Amino acid sequence: MVSGERLLLIAAEPREFGGLLGFCRNLQRLEWPVNWARSAELGDREVVLVANGAGPGRASLAAETAKLASRVVSVCSMGFCGALDRSLNVGDIFVADCVRAGARSFSVSQPVTRQAYCSGALASISHVAQTAEEKSRLRTTGAWAVEMEAAGVAEKAAEWELPFYCVKAVTDLAEESFGVDFNAALRLDGSFDTMRVLAGAMRRPVKLFPELIRLRGRCQTAAKALGEFIAGCRF
């Protein structure tokens, strides 16, 4: 029997929920003004899953929409992240102990689990960290990983005085740069323009198409690890 308490899980893209959906029961589509939303049962809890695009603004809007439409008692920013520390590998689970966005810092609650994970400060920025050089600069701030949505969610959770969690899975390594300019392909709705990504890859197809294929496989690995981890946690 579910408890009736709703955990809100916010990601950028539906595929970030791919590994978690297999653990959910009674999945139902929600007709909300966001890119993608579902309600479900996960263990003994009710959960709301929302994906509304990349960036803090899109994540903040997702949180606001869910809070207005549902009885949320805790909030988790989940999804993919880039490694800043070289000890992090593809598919590793990273649980933030604080989220930093410029001069702001948000405290983060810790899930209860016996599963292995890495922990540290998370840099939440408004664009894709494209290069190894940028990742190296972010590492000097003390952050271990980087992504784009957590600050937007953390700000709302703090405003509502709700517990905030942040669980990510690594898709790209600290020493790696992207050849494709994902920032140039980012639309206003928080999605990435597939045609622009492919057009960018066509400029150097021998190098960049394998990069895209590799990234797709890594996202699948990360989504699987993320789903297994969250399904085994108590929030």
Total domains present in the chain: 1
How many angstroms separate the CA atoms of 132 and 177, rounded? 5
How many angstroms separate the CA atoms of 102 and 67, rounded? 26
Where do we find the tokens 């933030």? 96
Closest CA to 93 of 5, 20, 13: 20
CB contact at 8 A, 52 and 75 = no
Read off the pLDDT of residues 55-77 as tens digits, 9 standing for 90 and up.
999 999 999 999 999 899 999 99
CA distances to 3, 121, 136, 201 from 84, rounded to whole Å, are 38, 10, 7, 25
In the structure, what pLDDT confidence band is assigned to residue 142 with cuts at 50, 70 and 90? Answer: very high
Q: Which pLDDT score is estimated for 2?
A: 46
Kindly tell me the burial class for residue 232, based on how many C-beta atoms sit within 10 Å of its own C-beta (0-12, 13-18, 19 or more).
Answer: middle
Q: Is residue 198 part of a domain?
A: no
Q: Is residue 141 part of a domain?
A: yes
Q: Is residue 131 part of a domain?
A: yes
Residue range(s) defining the domain that contains residue 140: 6-176+221-231
The overall average pLDDT reported for the chain is 95
Tell me whether strands 104-107 and 93-101 are parallel, antiparallel or unpaired. antiparallel
198 vs 5, residue with greater confidence: 198
Q: Which pLDDT score is estimated for 37?
A: 97
Is the confidence at residue 1, as pLDDT, over 80?
no
Q: Which pLDDT score is estimated for 5?
A: 67
- Contact partners, residue 73, CB within 8 Å, separation at least 6: 5, 6, 7, 162, 163
Collapsed DSSP state (helix, strand, coil) of residue 77: strand
CA distances to 45, 91, 120, 174, 232 from 134, rounded to whole Å, are 39, 21, 18, 9, 34
How many angstroms separate the CA atoms of 223 and 218, rounded? 8
Q: Is residue 197 part of a domain?
A: no
> Taking residues 177-194, what's their average pLDDT?
94
Q: Is residue 54 part of a domain?
A: yes
CATH number at residue 90: 3.40.50.1580
Q: Which pLDDT score is estimated for 79?
A: 98
Read off the pLDDT of residues 147-171 as tens digits, 9 standing for 90 and up.
999 999 999 999 999 999 999 999 9
> Taking residues 214-219, what's their average pLDDT?
97
Q: What percent of the chain has pLDDT over 90?
A: 95
CA distances to 43, 161, 215 from 157, rounded to whole Å, are 23, 6, 31
